[in-house]
Structure 1
Amino acid sequence: MTGRRVITGLVLGLLLVSGCTAQSGSENSAAQVARPEAGAGQSAPKQQAPAEPGKAPGVAVGQVDRKLARSATLSVKAGDVSGAVTRARQAATTAGGYAGTERTETRSATVTLVVPAERLDAVLGELSALGEVTRREQQVEDVTEQVVDVDTRLASQRASVTRVRALLERATSISEITSIERELTTREAELESLQARQKALAGSVAMSTITLNVAAGAVAAEDDDRGFLGGLAAGWRAFLDFGSGALTVLGAVAPFLVLVAIPVAVWWVRRRRKVAPAAAAE
């Protein structure tokens, strides 16, 4: 009896040991199978394309064509204001542009010149030779975004007008025709406005505006006024300046002299009349 129990215990022990070994093996196998599957499920890191030589990573290869509207303001002093304005107009015409608004006064003038954008610097150089430059400014406005926006909206509006016209051709009733024509008129007006805006932007990019201010002023002589002739010229100028100043003072005092001279003349005439009878009586 005791021997049977011992044998039964040994058999049960062997069965338990073999079951634990089998379970451990199956778990290891499952882990080995799951590990490749997990590795396969993970996405491989993306490889970035090698950047071109001389190009920064992340920067588009094609360069954006910038649309720039350029303008300038130039102020000069010239001995002959009218002649300077005439030469400025000729310079603009020769460059392929034209002269716009002009305002001329006694000792100054302002004229607006419109020239091709690629000729702006050359024309400014010619205008700077008209006299002494006192002010020179250039303004640049980047209108690239405006141009792109208008072009996009223009394409969309053209497609919209085309669709409405197609609907108008298929309309059968008077009410449909009236409603579609009203909508077509509105969209065509918007299309014309966008076209005008596109034309204005293109003009501001293609042509540049120069505002030229010319003021009367003596241009500095290239040669020094030295020597006998220089001294003679300086003396003559001083004499003219003195004569001009004296005449200016005389013109300013003349009205007051007239007012004083009238009472003096009346007093003198009366005194002469009184003196004459006294002299006759003696």
Structure 2
Amino acid sequence: MTTMGAGMDGQAGRRRGALLTAMALTATLAVAGCGAGDSGARDSAASAPERAVAEGGVEGGAADKNSGTDAEGAAGAGAPDLRVDQRAIIYTGAMRVQVTDVDAAAREVTAVVTRAGGFIGGDVRRSADADAEAELQLRVPAAKFSGVVEEIAKLGRQQSRDINTRDVTEETVDLEARIISQRARVDSARRLLARATSIADLVSLENELGRREADLASLEAKKRRLADLTALSTITVSLAGPAAKTSDEKAETGFLVGLKGGWKAFVASMTVLLTVLGALLPWLVALGVPLVVLLLVLRRRRKTPALTAPVSGPPPVPAARSAP
């Protein structure tokens, strides 16, 4: 009995040992699994933002690249070019400068324009010492327009300045398109003329070709005119002497001013009268002297017969007869 009890106790101990071992192994595996799960979750949680940032950066870069491409395409396709150097602008200006010596200032203006690569388009001067005036029309490259204006303003005391600009970009583009279309019409008319088989068709096509070529020449002339105006700007410069009056000076009033004006009018009238008299005097001498001589001769001839005629006395009285 003792032996059987001892055997049963040994089997029970082994079963408990095996059970404990199994439980310890299960617990170890569970702990290991939980640690792995936690580390995996931590790794996933840590790498998710990095992947999001990386993916976002890649997608953002692609989106930026696509948007940049689209923007460039849109700009190249339909957006207008707003750069000033790519637009056709006509610059015109007018200025008045009071200088000490008009002729010297005019020579300096000519030198300024020549240095800028332009030329003098017109030169009108009125010399009268202190109140002398000169008007110069300058053609300068558009890129040198502002610089030339500033240099001329430094020659004396600037009295006025008027600068205007005109954007003809759309007009130039439209004109270019019309020229291309008109050239195509001219080429078409020439091809039809080359295939004409009858006299009527030949005459009709020649007339049509002439009209189309005339229209093309007119459009090309307009294009050259716009190109000239945009390439060379126009500046009208008025140079005035120290005593020259400006156009916007107010008129003086008063008795002395009126007297001065009346005296000037009287002197001007006498000058005109004397001028007319001087112009008529040669004619009066040439025609008046012979006429006076002729009148004197005729008058003397009328008096000569009256002086030479015999003097007639009273009629004779008949003698009285004596009585018988």
- TM-score with structure 1 length normalisation? 0.56
* SS in structure 2 of the partner of residue 124 of structure 1: helix
Per-residue CA deviations over 1:43-93 (Å, capped at 9, x if unaligned) read: xxxxxx97559x8xx876662432111111111000101111111112111
Q: Which one of the candidate residues 169, 172, 187 is aligned to 1:144?
A: 169
Which residue identity lines up with residue 121 of structure 2 in the other structure?
G
Distance, in Å, in 2 between the alignment partners of 1:214 and 1:201 is 29
- Structure 1 equivalent of residue 138 of structure 2: 113
Report the Cα offset of residue 172 of structure 1.
Answer: 1.2
Q: CA deviation at 1:180?
A: 0.4
Count of aligned positions: 175
What residue identity is the alignment partner of 2:175? V
1:89 partnered with 2:110: yes
* 1:179 is aligned to 2:204: yes
Q: Which amino acid aligns with 2:81?
A: Q
Equivalent residue in structure 1 for 2:220, among 195, 198, 202: 195
1:96, distance to aligned residue in structure 2 (A):
0.7
Pair 1:72 & 2:86 matched:
no
CA distance in 2, matches of 1:84, 1:51: 58
Structure 1 runs (4+) greater than 4 angstroms displaced = 49-53, 58-62
> What is the rounded CA distance, in whole Å, between the counterparts of 2:106 and 2:119 in structure 1?
13
Matched residue, 2:193? 168
* Correspondent of 1:210 among 235, 245, 248: 235
Is the partner of 2:138 in helix, strand or coil? strand
Q: Between Structure 1 and Structure 2, whose CA radius of gyration is higher?
A: 2
- Output the TM-score relative to the length of structure 2: 0.49
Alignment pair present for 1:103 and 2:124: yes
CA distance in 2, matches of 1:183, 1:168: 10
Within a 5 Å distance, the mapping from 1:1-282 to structure 2 comes to: 52=68, 63-64=81-82, 65-105=86-126, 106=128, 107-217=132-242
Give the percent of matched residue pairs that are identical in Structure 1 and Structure 2. Answer: 35
Letter in 1 for 2:161: R
Query: Within 2, Cα distance between the matches of 1:61 and 1:182?
Result: 41
Give the root-mean-square deviation of aligned CA atoms.
3.0
Post-superposition Cα deviations, 1:181-221, rounded to whole Å, max 9, x if no partner, equal: 00000000000000000011111111100100111117xxx
Amino acid at match of 1:82: D
1:45 corresponds to: none
How many angstroms apart in 1 are the aligned matches of 2:222 and 2:145? 23
Structure 1, gaps ≥5 residues long: 1-48, 219-247, 256-282
Q: Deviations over 1:117-152 (max 9, x none)?
A: 001111112211211111122110010111011101
The residue matched to 1:109 in structure 2 has which SS? strand
> Judging changes above 3 Å, is the alpha-carbon distance between structure 1 residues 165 and 91 closer, same or farther for their aligned structure 2 residues?
same
Structure 2 distance, partners of 1:187, 1:127, is 47
Q: Secondary structure at the match of 2:171?
A: helix
CA offsets 1:77-112 (integer angstroms, 9 cap, x no match): 001011111111121112111001111113111110
SS in 2 for 1:79: coil
Q: Which runs of 5+ in 2 are unaligned?
A: 1-64, 244-259, 268-324
Which residue in 2 is equivalent to 1:259? none
Say which structure is richer in helix.
2
Task: Tell me the SS of whatever aligns to 1:184.
Answer: helix
